[in-house]
Each structure stands twice: as structure tokens, then as C-alpha cells.
A = this chain, B = another copy of it.
Amino acid sequence: MTDTIKLTIWNEFRHEKSNPAVQKIYPKGIHSTLAESLEKDAKIEVSTATLDEDQHGLNEEVLNNTDVLIWWGHCAHGEVSDEIVEKVQQRVLSGMGLIVLHSGHYSKIFKRLMGSNCSLRWREAAEKERLWNIAPGHPITQGIGEYVELLNEEMYGERFDIPEPDQLIFISWFEGGEVFRSGATWTRGNGKVFYFRPGHETYPTYHNKDVQQVIRNAVHWAKPMVNIPTNLAPNTEPLESLSEKSATFGEAGIKGQ
């Protein structure tokens, strides 16, 4: 019971309402397709939230009950309130795992955690992507072979403006001649972050078994530890006895600010 991972899948949920081609692939939204896949794992307890809900579906109670958050956004990054982004960031720093998918590279939350622009080159031409497994011993690639192949995807190419990852997990090859660091991990505060590239809304990527497996693995990997000592800038007493001070300092220099 205590082993259950509380997962919230957040989706912008706009393309699915306005674009019939997308609606055909994800009739109930990308979040629902992901939820159906992840609910099959008895250790994952799935909820969903979307942009147009109150507080984007991410009020304090929801966030405090989320162990791992998945994020898909694209055309409405700017509509996500800064206040919610701040809260999500603080929750990551205190341990919540975060999985950012595809066009989420330009979301406020991802850019804020990375500190860089997260820009990349791109092309929408239904081309072939092959994600090479660079980290076969990593939990995120369990059950995945030497590569994952997707027949039709949007191209994302380097240079991807991200800080050097803790670990690089996948590198993509694209038919049109580009490469991309398509799976990578970082730590921010006590939280784990995984970026996973595939998932343009006009292709059935989240129905792919390998893609589902990678995301499921990532949910397990990103699960927070339970007993994290907190330490927010305490003014502390010395653990050892201090020497006598021979010099005179300003008040600030002796007793603090």
C-alpha cells in the first residue's frame, strides 16, 4: 500500500479539442491515453489535470498528494499561471518527480528548472525517429532494446539548449539528418526530472508500447524518497567549540545580522 506512487498527468488539452486529426488519435485527450496505459501498473495510482480546470487542476491539495507529475503542453505555455508554476517548482525541489514530455521543453516549469532557454530546431514532416538506448543499465530503459523506432514523428534537432544532464538516456536519429538528446535526467533540489522527447499530437506516439514502457519506468524512477531531512537556510549553533577571537569586528561580525 505504502509503495503506491501517486501520479498526476497534466495535459494542456487544447489540440485534442480543436484539431480533428488529433482528436481521432486522442479522443479523450493525451492525458487519458497515458492514464489508461499507466493504470495497468498496480503500483501507480493515476489522476489527471488539465489547463482549463480551476488552478489548472493543480491546487495545493493535489500537488501535496502528487509523488510524480507528468507534463504535456504546447500551444498555451503562456496561459499557465506563474503562481502555479512557482508551486510546482517548490514541490519538485522538495522531492516530487517531474516527467516533461515533447513540446513541454518550452513549458515555464521546465525552463525554470533548467535555467536555460531549452530551444531546439524542429520540423513537422512525419519522419522516422529512432531513439538509441544510451543507458541500458538505467531503470528508465528496462525492457527496452537497443532502440525504439517511431515511423512518424516531428523532428527535434540539436542544439538543444539544456544544462549538461546528470545522465543521457536516449539519443534520437531522424530521417532528415538531425540528432537529438531525446531522453535525459537532472536533479533539482530533492526532485528528479526526466525529459522525454516523443509525442507530437498528430501522431499516435503515446499508443506505442515502447514509449509507454519508458514513461512507466520513469514514473517508478522519479518516485521521491520518503524521509528527506529538510534544511532551509537555518542559522545554526556551532557543533564544535570555537576559538577565542582576537580581532574586533562590527556587531554584524560577531553576533549576526
Contacts and interface: CB of A to CB of B under 8 A. Distances in A.
Nearest to A146: B229
B172 A179 contact: yes
Contact of A20 (B203, B224, B237, B250): B250
Contacts of A232: 117, 119
Given A21-B249, A137-B224, A254 B122 contact: no
Interface of A: 15, 19-22, 24, 75, 89, 93, 95, 112-117, 119-128, 130, 132-134, 136-139, 141-146, 151-152, 155, 157-159, 161, 163-164, 166-168, 171-179, 181, 186-192, 200-203, 224-229, 231-240, 242-243, 245, 247, 249-257
Given A126-B253, A168-B164, A249-B126, A132 B233 contact: no
B167 A166 contact: yes
B164 A187 contact: yes
A236 B132 CA distance: 15
Contacts of A151: 247
A93 B112 contact: no
A181 B177 contact: no
Q: Oligomeric state, in number of copies?
A: 4
A123 B239 CA distance: 11
The list of the 7 closest CB pairs from A to B, nearest first, reads A21-B250, A177-B239, A137-B190, A176-B238, A202-B253, A124-B256, A113-B115
Nearest to A24: B250
A186 to B, nearest CB: 7
A176 B239 contact: yes
A19 B24 CA distance: 59
B177 A240 contact: yes
Given A115-B188, A159-B132, A202-B250, A245 B176 contact: no
Contacts of A157: 132, 236
A119 B187 contact: no
Contact of A152 (B123, B134, B172, B247): B247
Nearest to A200: B253
B202 A252 contact: yes
A229 to B, nearest CB: 5
Nearest to A103: B257
A167 to B, nearest CB: 6
